[in-house]
Amino acid sequence: MTLLRSALFFIAVLAVTPVTPSLAQTAPQIEPFSLPVRPVTLTQDIIKRFLYSFAPVGAQMKEEAAGNAVLSPEATARLDKKAAEYGFKDFNDWGETTRTIMVTYHWVTNPDPREEVEKAIASIPSMPNLSDKQKAEMIDGLKSGLATVEKARPSEENLAIVKKHMSSIKPLYKQWTSL
């Protein structure tokens, strides 16, 4: 099941949506396994600010989104203010940084996406709870998602900086992937 969960990363990246829509802002979500729209060039300072901000900004995000499909301008301003407390331009900047770090962490811990996808594809035919159509759709989704994922490989600089902070990022990654 872990292999399948990791492989589903490749399907989920196809559903990338920006955190801040252009008109009415929907309730914020940092979707697990979504790719950043504009990857952030990571630095020691950015990693440090991210580590300190993850819990408080995440809590503010949950509070503002609770029961709301669309955020009020006041709620959006509170999210922007909370992210700014940690040196981010706004909540969208914090979200892009979060996705960049989490996707980079995934690449560090799972450096060969093709191998993961091939193993996942091989396991699908033996899944008794899926119809043949569902199995074919999963296989097609994994194959088409692989090209997107391979193009989204983080820069060597981002990979190197995340490698330095693996133990600090790991518990946050586990929280992110269980959303």
Question: What pLDDT sits at residue 100?
Answer: 94
Residue that has been written with the tokens 């992110």 in this structure: 176
- Domain for residue 20, yes or no? no
Domain presence at residue 21: no
Instruction: Check residue 113 and give its pLDDT.
Output: 82
Could you tell me the pLDDT band of residue 31, with boundaries at 50, 70 and 90? low
Q: Select the more confidently predicted residue: 112 or 33.
A: 112
The pLDDT score that the predictor gives to residue 160 is: 97
Query: 146 in a domain, yes or no?
Result: yes
Query: Is residue 23, in this structure, part of any structural domain at all?
Result: no
Measuring CA to CA, how many Å separate 8 from each of 27, 110, 116, 153, 163?
Answer: 24, 13, 10, 16, 23
Q: Could you tell me the residue range of the domain that residue 57 belongs to?
A: 2-15+41-177
- Residue 85 has which token pair? 């407390």
In this structure, the number of other CB atoms found within 10 A of the CB of residue 153 comes to 14
When divided into structural domains, the chain yields a total of: 1
